[in-house]
């Protein structure tokens, strides 16, 4: 008599339902996390001018890009109109390497090429005696698009786990048949899997800023203003063609294979019923899925600043940007993963930030600067969700607020030509729970260099190039079948920038 513990396949069905839910969530998370984060904190871009790219440090600047970096410093401009227009072209490569034993060709590298061909910074100011009024447009968060052509291990590992799951769950059936008949059918011998996945996404937070600056005296000036932030995310993706290579029937959907096994006339009715229920669960889990959705929302950032000119050669500055609450609303066309219900709202805040800077000119043609930024990440709500889709508080993934520091040197080698260079680094404050192939924070170091050209007293050209290198991070993982493995996260960013400043 054929003996089989039915509960084994019932447990298998529960595992499949869990796996289906996890796969759908991972599909969404890959798209949600496909934004470019440039230079700065976890959610804050501070690369907001071509002059920053060539120096890395602008928190105490008295140039026109002070509209963003040091609004109180605008009191030091000459009377009249001042304009700045710059653009950065940014390239970022993300790579996750996984050594999970059941992946095809392990270890496997998953790479995504991210780009932002247009990353503008536009600033204008009008200075009149003690007053200065300013406007600005930039991208304080996100920016660009991402294309994950081969997926990520956190997405493919559950699919690859079909092989050991089917093997382990068919092994008792094979053994039972062998004990009863002396024949081993080898239903367990599932050897491979395949899938087609394509994901693309973009995330951009546009900022429109206005402010007023007042010089209390020749030494101290203050500023107040705000930034209206408009956020837009767009996601498009698909998962199709999940199959396994099985000993009976070859390459086929896993549900079809389980039904093929259930068609064995020698199996008892209760075993057949369990197999057919498992097949139905597999059909749901591996069904083709499409996603096409956008999210949009807005928020307001209050800004205050103070500038202190200790002398003509020494200037220090401070700025505070308040936490920005942003509520996103879904506009969904297709959502087979049931994660973006049309009209539903979610949070995607930007954190508050303290910025400090100092600028010193020890020699006539030499200027050196230092900058420090402190990001209030723990107080913002980024809308993180865990593998079960439950909202997660920042306290669970961020141990401490992040910070960056920077310094630069600028030297005028000719009356019309100067060169500059700078360096920035810092700490993002995240813990091991934050790190995943979907979104990860790595310790980074950036350097930038460039030139500036003065075309008379009215026009200055800025050109710069910067590179950001990141420390690799390896995280120990365990798959749903209990197999340990490691994922290693890596990233690299480069920027090209050009800008023009005009005063009259």
The DSSP secondary structure of 252-274, one letter per residue, reads: E-HHHHHHHHHT-TTS-HHHHHH
Nearest to 468 by CA among 93, 95, 89: 93
What is residue 7's predicted lDDT score, i.e. its pLDDT?
Answer: 41
pLDDT digits (tens, 9 = 90+) for 389-441: 566 677 778 889 999 999 999 999 999 999 999 999 988 888 888 887 767 88
pLDDT digits (tens, 9 = 90+) for 228-242: 999 998 888 787 889
Please, what's the b/e burial string for 229-249 (b: 16 or more CB within 10 A of its CB; e: otherwise)?
bebbbbbbbbbeebbbbbbee
For 316-367, the DSSP string reads EEEEEE--B--EEEEEEEEETTS-S-TT-EEE--B-EEEEEEEEEEEETTEE
> Is pLDDT at 19 greater than 60 in this prediction?
no
Instruction: Pull the structure tokens for residue 134.
Output: 């300013």
> Is pLDDT at 27 greater than 50 in this prediction?
no
> Is pLDDT at 220 greater than 60 in this prediction?
yes
pTM: 0.85
As annotated, the residues of the chain forming the CATH 2.40.160.60 domain(s) are: 37-148+200-240+291-503
- Burial grade of 471 (CB within 10 A; 0-12, 13-18, 19 or more): exposed
Nearest to 229 by CA among 324, 308, 318: 324
Residue 270, number of CB atoms within 10 A of its CB:
10
Instruction: Pull the structure tokens for residue 447.
Output: 């350097």
CATH of domain 37-148+200-240+291-503: 2.40.160.60
Partnered with residue 285 across adjacent β-strands are none
Which is more confident, 97 or 396? 97
Contact 386, 417 (CB under 8 A): no
Give the C-alpha separation, 473 to 471, whole Å. 6
What is residue 158's predicted lDDT score, i.e. its pLDDT?
Answer: 84
């Amino acid at each position: 008599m054929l003996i089989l513990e039915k509960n084994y396949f019932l447990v298998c069905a529960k595992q499949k339902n869990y796996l289906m839910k996890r796969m759908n969530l991972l599909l969404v998370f890959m798209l949600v996390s496909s934004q470019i984060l440039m230079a700065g904190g976890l959610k804050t871009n501070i690369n907001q001018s071509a002059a920053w790219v060539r120096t890395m440090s602008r928190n105490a600047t008295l140039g026109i890009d002070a509209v963003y970096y040091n609004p109180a410093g605008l009191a030091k401009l000459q009377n009249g109109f001042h304009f700045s227009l710059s653009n950065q072209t940014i390239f970022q490569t993300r790579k996750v390497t996984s050594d999970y034993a059941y992946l095809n060709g392990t270890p496997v590298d998953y790479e995504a090429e991210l780009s932002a061909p247009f990353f503008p910074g536009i600033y204008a100011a009008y200075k009149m005696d003690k007053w200065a009024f300013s406007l600005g447009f930039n991208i304080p968060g996100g920016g660009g698009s991402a294309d994950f052509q081969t997926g990520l291990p956190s997405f493919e590992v559950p699919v690859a786990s079909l092989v050991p799951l089917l093997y382990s769950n068919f092994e008792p059936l094979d053994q039972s048949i062998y004990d009863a008949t002396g024949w081993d059918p080898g239903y367990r011998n599932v050897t491979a899997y395949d899938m087609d996945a394509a994901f693309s996404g973009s995330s951009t937070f546009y900022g429109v800023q206005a402010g007023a600056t007042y010089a209390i005296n020749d030494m101290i000036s203050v500023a107040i203003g705000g930034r209206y932030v408009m956020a837009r995310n767009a996601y498009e993706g698909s998962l199709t063609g999940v199959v396994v290579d099985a000993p009976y029937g070859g390459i086929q959907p896993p549900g079809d294979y389980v039904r093929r096994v259930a068609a064995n006339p020698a199996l008892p009715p209760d075993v057949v019923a369990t197999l057919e229920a498992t097949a139905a669960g597999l059909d749901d889990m591996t069904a083709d899925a499409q996603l096409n959705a956008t999210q949009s929302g807005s928020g307001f950032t209050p800004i205050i600043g103070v500038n202190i000119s200790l002398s003509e050669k020494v200037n220090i500055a401070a700025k505070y940007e308040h936490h920005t609450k942003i509520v996103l609303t879904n506009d969904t066309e297709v959502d087979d993963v049931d994660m973006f219900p049309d009209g539903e709202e979610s949070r995607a805040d930007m954190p508050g930030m303290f910025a400090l800077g100092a600028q010193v000119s020890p020699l006539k043609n030499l200027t050196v600067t230092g900058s420090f930024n402190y990001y209030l990440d723990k107080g913002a709500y980024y809308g993180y969700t865990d593998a079960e889709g439950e909202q997660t508080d920042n306290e669970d993934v961020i141990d401490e607020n992040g910070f960056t520091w920077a310094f630069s040197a600028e030297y005028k080698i000719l009356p019309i030509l100067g060169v500059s260079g700078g360096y920035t680094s810092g700490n993002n404050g995240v813990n091991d729970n934050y790190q995943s192939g979907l979104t990860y924070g790595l310790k980074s170091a950036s350097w930038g260099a460039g030139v500036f050209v003065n075309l008379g007293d009215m026009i200055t050209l800025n050109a710069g190039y910067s590179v950001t290198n990141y420390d690799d991070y390896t995280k120990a993982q365990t798959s749903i079948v209990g197999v340990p493995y490691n994922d290693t996260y890596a990233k690299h960013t480069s920027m090209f920038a050009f800008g023009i400043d005009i005063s009259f």
